[in-house]
Amino acid sequence: MNTTRGYTATKAELMNRLSKIEGQVRGVARMVEEDRYCIDVVTQINAARAALDKVALGLLDGHVRHCLVGGHGGPDDPDLQAEELMGAVGRMISR
């Protein structure tokens, strides 16, 4: 009986992905350290960023599924719920 927030089902998967992303960021730092060709470093950064996007989408998916549609967690007021979610989506898009 717990009060997890919606992405419990894939929590292990999210943790795995984040641990992999941490390694990707370390890899980017190593490339910079070694003066690797910048275009190649940027390619690695894009990979880390795409992986972060996927984690964020997984979290939002869980949020929509459990908090909004399922009615568990988050603000009670539907307008606040929508505002909060769209705020997060808007910040992802216009970064």
Contact residues for a second copy (CB under 8 A)? Answer: 2-8, 11, 14-15, 18-19, 21-22, 25-26, 28-29, 32-33, 35-39, 41-43, 45-46, 48-50, 52-53, 55-57, 59-65, 67-70, 73-74, 78-79, 81-95
Question: Contact 24/44 with Cβ under 8 angstroms?
Answer: yes
Select from 45, 41, 88, 28 the least CA-distant residue to 63. Answer: 88
Q: Smallest gap, in angstroms, from Cβ of residue 46 to a second copy?
A: 5
Q: Smallest gap, in angstroms, from Cβ of residue 3 to a second copy?
A: 7
Q: Smallest gap, in angstroms, from Cβ of residue 72 to a second copy?
A: 11
The token pair at 83 is 């505002």
Rg (the chain; Cα; Å): 17
